[in-house]
Amino acid sequence: MADDKKNHMAEVPPGLAPTKVKFEIYGEEMIEKLVKSSGNSGRVYLPPDWVGCHVKIIRVD
């Protein structure tokens, strides 16, 4: 399967790659938040009951 992905990426000429991609994920719950400035970085606060959980962050814009 990794070879299929590599071959597909080789077919897309440089500079013509799509600006957005589609992700399909399965999970328990989802929330939308705005990233706030925090020093030289950004920060998103999540519910305290999510502490210790594995999360995935996807930038949508």
Which residues are paired to 36 by β-bridges?
Answer: 43
pLDDT, tens digit, 9 for 90 and up, residues 3-60:
554 445 556 666 766 678 899 999 999 999 999 999 999 999 999 999 999 999 999 8
* pLDDT recorded at residue 18: 64
Write the CA distances from 49 to 27, 46, 52, integer angstroms: 15, 8, 8
Beta bridge partners of 43: 36
Beta strands in 1-61 (DSSP E): 36-38, 41-43
